[in-house]
Structure 1
Amino acid sequence: MKRWFRLLCAAVAGGILATSAPVGATTEQPADVFDRVTHATAISEGGVKIHYASLGKGPLVVMIHGFPDFWYSWRHQMEALSQSFQVVAIDQRGYNLSDQPKGVEHYDMKLLVADVAAVIRHIGRERATIVGHDWGGMVAWQFAMHVPQMTEHLVILNLPHPNGLTRELRNNAEQKKNSAYARTFQEKAPADPTVFFGRPMTAENLAGWVRDPAARKRYVDAFNRSDFEAMLNYYKRNYPSADAPPTASDLPKVQAPVLMFHGLRDTALHSDGLSGTWNWVAKDLTIVTAPEAGHFVQQDAADLVTTTMKWWLASRASR
Structure 2
Amino acid sequence: MRRFFTVLVAALILTGCATTTDSTGSKAMVESNFEASLESRYADSSGVKIHYKTAGEGPLVVFVHGFPDFWYSWIHQMEGLADGYQVAALDTRGYNLSDQPSGLENYDMSLLVGDVAAVIANEGREKAIIVGHDWGGMIAWSFAMFMPQMTEKLIIVNLPHPAGMSRELANNEDQQKNSQYARDFQKPDSHKALSAAGLAQFLAMGDAAKGAKYEAAFGKSNFEGMMNYYKANYPGGIDGNVGTPSFPKVQSPVLQFHGLEDTALHHYGLNKTWEHLEQDYTLVTIPGVGHWAHHQKPELVTRTMRFWLDMRR
Q: TM-score, normalised by structure 1?
A: 0.85
Structure 1 CA distance for aligned equivalents of residues 68 and 33 of structure 2:
21
2:6 maps to what in 1? none
Q: For 1:213, give the aligned amino acid.
A: A
1:273 equivalenced with 2:274 (yes/no): no
Q: Kindly state the Cα deviation for residue 85 of structure 1 after the two structures are TM-superposed.
A: 0.3
Q: Is the 8 A contact 1:113 1:143 kept in 2?
A: yes
1:30 to partner: Cα distance: 8.7
Identical-residue share of aligned pairs (%): 56
Aligned pair count? 279
Q: What residue is the counterpart of 1:118 in the other structure?
A: 118
| Cα distance in 2, alignment partners of residues 30 and 208 from structure 1 | 20
What code does the residue aligned with 2:43 have?
Answer: A
Aligned AA for 2:248?
P
What's 1:60 paired with? 60
* Aligned residue number for residue 107 of structure 2: 107
Query: Shift of the alpha carbon at 1:90?
Result: 0.4
1:191 Cα deviation after fit: 5.1
Out of 194, 210, 215, the position equivalent to 1:215 is 210
Task: State the partner residue of 2:228.
Answer: 233
Q: CA deviation at 1:207?
A: 1.4
Out of 196, 201, 206, which is 1:203 matched to?
196
In structure 2, the gaps of 5 or more residues are 1-29
SS of the residue aligned with 2:291? coil
Structure-2 residue corresponding to 1:255: 251
**Alpha-carbon distance in structure 2 between the residues aligned to 1:137 and 1:313:** 18
Q: How far is the alpha carbon of 1:134 from its aligned partner?
A: 0.3
**Residues 303/74 of structure 1: CA separation in 2 closer, same or farther (3 Å cut):** same
Q: Is the 8 Å Cα contact of residues 34 and 72 (structure 1) preserved in structure 2?
A: no
What does 1:183-198 correspond to in 2, within 5 Å? Answer: 183-190=183-190, 192=192
Q: Which SS does the other structure have where 1:303 is aligned?
A: helix
SS at match of 2:303: helix
Match for residue 244 of structure 1? 242
1:64-113 CA-to-partner distances (Å, cap 9, x unmatched) read 00000000000000011001100000000000000000001000000000
> 1:31 corresponds to which residue?
32
Q: 1:215 to 1:32 in 2, by over 3 A?
A: farther
Report the equivalent of 2:309. Answer: 313
The amino acid that maps onto 1:167 is: R
Q: Secondary structure at the match of 1:176?
A: helix
SS in 2 for 1:62: strand
Residue identity opposite 1:93 in structure 2: R
The answer to whether the 8 Å contact 2:178/2:265 transfers is yes
In 1, Cα distance between equivalents of 2:228 and 2:38? 29
The separation in 2 between residues aligned to 1:246 and 1:32, in whole angstroms, is 48
Matched with 1:296 is 292
Aligned match of 2:7: none
Distance 1:257 1:169 in 2: 26
* Cross-structure match for 1:15: none
Cα shift readout 1:103-131 (whole Å, capped 9, x = no counterpart): 01000000000000000000000110000
Instruction: Tell me which protein shows more helix as a share of its residues.
Output: 2
Counterpart-to-counterpart distance in 2, 1:191 and 1:310: 37
The aligned counterpart of 2:5 is none
